[in-house]
């Protein structure tokens, strides 16, 4: 859990902004959204495989972009 200590004479809005930034860097919101509903392990595995395929296709497209004649 991200922790932010308020500095001397620091406005609340600035402290809140720093806290939100630290939560974003920690990936807290995405983790909460991901775990909002239960997904069966088979569906999670299928999503990971699909994402890996997408990344590989994107990488191949980038590599082939410079090889056109």
In the chain, the number of structural domains is: 2
Domain that holds residue 45: 38-69
**How many Å apart are CA 47 and CA 41, to the nearest integer?**
10
Q: What is the mean pLDDT of residues 49-55?
A: 97
In a shared domain, residues 2 and 20: yes
Contact 4, 20 (CB under 8 A): no
Which tens digit of pLDDT belongs to each residue from 4-49? 998 999 999 999 999 999 999 998 888 888 889 999 999 999 999 9
Q: Are residues 31 and 45 in the same domain?
A: no
């Amino acid at each position: 859990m991200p922790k932010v200590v308020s500095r001397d004479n620091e406005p609340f809005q600035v402290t809140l902004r720093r806290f939100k930034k630290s939560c974003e860097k920690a990936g807290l919101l995405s983790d909460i959204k991901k775990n909002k509903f239960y997904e069966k392990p088979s569906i999670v595995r299928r999503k990971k495989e699909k994402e890996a395929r997408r990344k590989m296709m994107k990488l191949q497209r980038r590599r082939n972009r410079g090889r056109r004649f």
